[in-house]
Chains A and B, each alone.
Chain A
C-alpha cells in the first residue's frame, strides 16, 4: 500500500483527531482547561473498573446498532432508523420478559432476543419494501419510523405496561430469567457486550469469507452488474435491511434485559443516531465498528465523569460526539452514480458510498 492509499485508509482517524481539536474550542471558551478536560474523560472512561464498566455499558448498544447500520451500508443502503429499531427491539424483549414466566433462562433469554430481532427487522422491512417497490428513499422512511417507535414505547411505558403507582413511565421489572447476567461483579457491565462482540466477529466472517456476504456487497456496489451476474438484487437489499434492523433491535433488547431490567420511556439517549457515526467512521467494517463503538462509548462515559469533576455541563460534552460528524463526511465523497439500475425502468437515486476497500 503506498502512502497515499494509507492516508486514505486512515481518514477516519484524521477525522477523529480534527474533531478532538475542534472540541477544545468550546471547552476553552467555557473557561475549562481543554487538556484537563480530556484527561478527565480518559480517566473517567478507562482508569478504573467502574469507569471501564460504564464504558462497556455505553458501548454495547452503539456496537449492536453500529453493526446493523454497517450491514445496510455494505448493501448500499443508509439506515437512519436504528434508533427506532432499538426501541422496537427493547419493547419486544420487554413484552417477552414481562408476560412469560417459569421458563429457564437459557430458553427465556434467546426467546426475548429473537422477539427483539424480529421487531427490529420488521421495523426495517417497511422502508426496505418501499425502497425496492416504489423507489422511496430509505433515508427518509427509516428516519420517520423512529418517531413512531419512540412514541409507541412512550405510550406503552406510560400506559398499558406502566407499573401501577410508579412515579415515572416505566414497566414492572422483567422476569429474572429474562435478564442478562452481569459480567463484572458490582458493576452494570452485562453480557450484552459479549453477544455484540460475537456478532461483530460473525459479520466479519460473513462479509470477508462467504458467498452471502459477497452477494450483499455486489448488490450494494453495482446493482446492475449484480443483476446481470444472477443476483436477485431486490431480495438481497430487503434481506440486508431486515438484518440491519434486527441487529439494532438486539441493541434495544440488551439495554432492557441487561441494564434497565424494565421498559422505560425514552430509554435510549440517541444511541441509534450515534451509531450512524460509529458505522461510517468504521467504514462499514465490523471489526473497525467495534473500535469506533468503543471510542464513542468511552466518550459518553468519560464525559459524565468530566462533568462531575470539572463542573462542565455534559450538554457541551456532547459536542465531542458531534464533532466527528462534521469532520468525517468529507472522507466519503460521492462517487459517480453509474450503479443506478436501468433495466428495471426506474432510476435509483445517486448514492454516496464510503471508500472502504471492497475486497
Chain B
C-alpha cells in the first residue's frame, strides 16, 4: 500500500469535518475491537468504512451512536468535543444510524413508526395527520417515495430501510450511519439506495457507509477508511485508489507464516467440483458455476474477500447446504444422493469456521464430542448400546495425541479454551485418515501457538495423502500454505494460480473481480 502523509489526508481541513474520532480504543474482554482508530468525515461527503467482518467497523460506529463507551480516545462533532453516552443523546446531536437489523414495529404504519418515542405534537395527541404531511414532503424532497399511511409489515425490505432513513431525517439527523445497508437489498434496491444517498449528500448531509463490498464502496463513496483487526490500515480518496489496492489492504500483509513445507506429491482426485451452483441464506445466488479439482496430497487454497461464496462452498461440500446445480465427487463418488453422502462421510473431514455451531456440541463432554460422527457404530456401540468405556479410552488416546489441554475427557467442551476446542474438532476429524479435508478459517480466533499447530496438522495430513480445500480470508495464510490458489469473487472462480508463480497484484485484481485468468494451474504431479 502507498504510504500517505498527513497533508493528503482528508482530515487536513478540520473546519469542514463534521466528525472526527481520534485515537478510539475499545476492548471487549481480551479482544481489541478498536485500536487507536482515527477517523475524519467531511461535511457533505460519503465516507466508507471498509473491512472484513470483525474488523471493527460496527463497533466504531456504535461508539459514535452512544451504544458503547470508548476506553480511550475522543469524539469531535462539528468541531466540538462531545461525549455521547446514549443513543438518545446521539439522536439529539443529529446523528442517525440505520442498523443492519431494522428497528421497526411491523403492525404500525410508517408515520407511527417514525413518531414512536417522540413527544406528542399537540397536547397529549399525536396529530398523525400533520406528521403524515411532514413525512410526505420529506419523502418527496429526498426521492424516498414512501407512503406514511401504510403498515410497515406490508413494505418490502428496501422500503423498510427507507423508513429507517426517514426516521433519522425526521429527527433532523444530518450525519447518517448506514451499517451494511445493501446486505439485505436486491441489486435494483441497492441502485435506488445509492440514488438516495447521492441526493442526501447533495442536500448537505454527511454519510458514513459501512461495507465489506469493494465495488459498491468504489461507486458510492468519496473517501474510504480501511479497517483491519480493529486498526486503520489507511484512509484514501476513492478517486485515487483501485479495487485491487483496497482488497490488498483488507486482507493485509502483516502475518508472515513460517512453516516448513515440502513439495506436494499429488495423487488422484480427492474432490471434483463441476459447474456448482448454490444460493445463500437470503435466496440470492452465492455460487455460480464453480469448477475445480483437489488432488490427494495437495492443498488448494480459496482466496477472496469475505462474502464471495466461501461459506456456501464449504457448506455444500460438507453436505450442509444443497446445491442448486452441478456435481460434487469426493474420492470418486458422487455425493448428490444420501447414500453417496453416507458412503464418503468417514473420508471427509470438515473444520468449520464456526466451531461452536457446526464443529462441537459445547454442552457435551470431550469424550462424546470425539465420538460424535461414529457413536452408532463399533467400537463405540455394540448393537444399540453405547460402549462408554471404549468412548472414553478413545478420547483419552486422541487427547494425548492431539495435546488437548483439559482436566478430564468427561469435561464439557464449553469449558475449554478456543484453541483446545479446535483441537477437539481436529482430533475427531483427522483421526479417521480422511481423503478430503475442508478447512474454513481453521486458525481464526486462536493464539499464535495454537494456530501454528492447526496449520501444521493440516500439512501433515496433506503429506499423508489427503486432499485439502483450505478456505481463508487471510491471504497470507492461503498463499503460505497452499500448493495452488483459486480466487473466488462473486461466487465465481477468477483463476487458479500457483502462489510462487502469480504476482500479488494479479491476485488482488482477481479478488476485486477485475481480472480473470483463462489458464488454470494443474496439480503438481
Task: Give the distance to chain B from A231, nearest Cβ to Cβ, in Å.
Answer: 9
Which of B325-358 touch A at CB < 8 Å? Answer: 342, 345, 350, 352, 354, 356-358
Q: Contacts A230-B345, A358-B412; is A343 near B386 (CB within 8 Å)?
A: no
Q: Which of B318, B362, B368 contacts A359 (CB 8 A)?
A: B368
Chain B residues lying within 8 Å of A345, measured Cβ to Cβ, are 281, 283
Binds B, one of A65-73, A160-168, A210-218: A210-218
B376 at the interface (CB under 8 A from A): yes
Are the CB atoms of B412 and A359 closer together than 8 Å? yes
Task: Give the distance to chain B from A174, nearest Cβ to Cβ, in Å.
Answer: 35
Contact with B along A214-235 (1 / 0, CB 8 A): 1101100110111111100000
* Nearest residue, chain A, Cβ from B428: A229
Task: Give the distance to chain B from A340, nearest Cβ to Cβ, in Å.
Answer: 8
A350 at the interface (CB under 8 A from B): no
Chain A residues lying within 8 Å of B364, measured Cβ to Cβ, are 217-218, 221, 358-359
B384 at the interface (CB under 8 A from A): yes
Assembly CA distance A336 to B376 (angstroms): 28
A338 at the interface (CB under 8 A from B): yes
Are the CB atoms of B319 and A228 closer together than 8 Å? yes
B359 at the interface (CB under 8 A from A): yes
Q: Contacts A338-B354, A358-B361, A359-B364; is A228 near B385 (CB within 8 Å)?
A: no
Are the CB atoms of B375 and A211 closer together than 8 Å? yes
> How many residues on chain B are close to A (CB under 8 Å)?
35
Are the CB atoms of B357 and A338 closer together than 8 Å? yes
Are the CB atoms of B358 and A224 closer together than 8 Å? yes
Are the CB atoms of A209 and B363 closer together than 8 Å? no
Are the CB atoms of B363 and A225 closer together than 8 Å? no
Are the CB atoms of B386 and A228 closer together than 8 Å? no
A339 at the interface (CB under 8 A from B): yes
Chain A residues lying within 8 Å of B373, measured Cβ to Cβ, are 229-230
* Nearest residue, chain B, Cβ from A353: B363
Chain B residues lying within 8 Å of A229, measured Cβ to Cβ, are 372-373
Q: Contacts A224-B358, A228-B319; is A359 near B385 (CB within 8 Å)?
A: no
A342 at the interface (CB under 8 A from B): yes
B381 at the interface (CB under 8 A from A): yes
Which of B359-402 touch A at CB < 8 Å? Answer: 359-365, 367-368, 372-373, 375-376, 381, 384-386, 388
Assembly CA distance A342 to B372 (angstroms): 19
Q: Contacts A214-B368, A342-B281, A359-B410; is A224 near B357 (CB within 8 Å)?
A: yes
Chain B residues lying within 8 Å of A228, measured Cβ to Cβ, are 318-320, 350, 352, 358
Q: Contacts A211-B386, A358-B412; is A225 near B315 (CB within 8 Å)?
A: no
Are the CB atoms of A359 and B365 closer together than 8 Å? yes
Are the CB atoms of A211 and B384 closer together than 8 Å? yes
B444 at the interface (CB under 8 A from A): no
Chain A residues lying within 8 Å of B388, measured Cβ to Cβ, are 209
Task: Give the distance to chain A from B429, nearest Cβ to Cβ, in Å.
Answer: 10
Are the CB atoms of B357 and A225 closer together than 8 Å? yes
Assembly CA distance A325 to B32 (angstroms): 42
Are the CB atoms of B365 and A358 closer together than 8 Å? yes
Which of A338-359 touch B at CB < 8 Å? Answer: 338-339, 342-343, 345, 353, 357-359
B321 at the interface (CB under 8 A from A): yes
Task: Give the distance to chain A from B491, nearest Cβ to Cβ, in Å.
Answer: 17
Q: Which of A209, A218, A357 contacts B361 (CB 8 A)?
A: A218
Task: Give the distance to chain A from B118, nearest Cβ to Cβ, in Å.
Answer: 31
Assembly CA distance A222 to B425 (angstroms): 15
* Nearest residue, chain A, Cβ from B387: A209
Assembly CA distance A230 to B368 (angstroms): 15
Are the CB atoms of B410 and A225 closer together than 8 Å? no
Are the CB atoms of A214 and B375 closer together than 8 Å? yes
Assembly CA distance A342 to B315 (angstroms): 10
Task: Give the distance to chain A from B292, nearest Cβ to Cβ, in Å.
Answer: 21
Assembly CA distance A343 to B280 (angstroms): 9
Assembly CA distance A309 to B195 (angstroms): 81
Task: Give the distance to chain B from A11, nearest Cβ to Cβ, in Å.
Answer: 16
Chain A residues lying within 8 Å of B345, measured Cβ to Cβ, are 230
Chain A residues lying within 8 Å of B321, measured Cβ to Cβ, are 343
Chain B residues lying within 8 Å of A209, measured Cβ to Cβ, are 385-386, 388
Chain B residues lying within 8 Å of A227, measured Cβ to Cβ, are 320
Q: Contacts A221-B363, A358-B412; is A210 near B357 (CB within 8 Å)?
A: no
Assembly CA distance A156 to B281 (angstroms): 48
Are the CB atoms of A225 and B360 closer together than 8 Å? yes
Assembly CA distance A215 to B368 (angstroms): 11
Are the CB atoms of B354 and A221 closer together than 8 Å? no
Are the CB atoms of A225 and B361 closer together than 8 Å? yes
Task: Give the distance to chain B from A125, nearest Cβ to Cβ, in Å.
Answer: 23
Task: Give the distance to chain A from B403, nearest Cβ to Cβ, in Å.
Answer: 22
Chain A residues lying within 8 Å of B376, measured Cβ to Cβ, are 211, 214-215
Task: Give the distance to chain B from A1, nearest Cβ to Cβ, in Å.
Answer: 11
Chain A residues lying within 8 Å of B412, measured Cβ to Cβ, are 357-359
Given contacts A210-B386, A229-B372, A342-B315, 16 further A-B contacts (CB under 8 A): A218-B364, A218-B372, A221-B362, A222-B361, A222-B363, A225-B357, A227-B320, A228-B358, A338-B356, A339-B357, A342-B281, A342-B320, A343-B315, A343-B321, A353-B363, A357-B412
- Give the 5 A-B CB pairs with smallest separation, nearest first: A343-B320, A211-B376, A358-B363, A222-B361, A359-B365
A-B contact pairs, 21 of them (CB 8 A): A210-B386, A211-B375, A212-B384, A214-B376, A221-B363, A221-B364, A222-B361, A222-B363, A228-B318, A228-B352, A229-B372, A230-B345, A230-B373, A338-B357, A339-B357, A342-B281, A342-B357, A343-B315, A357-B412, A358-B361, A358-B363
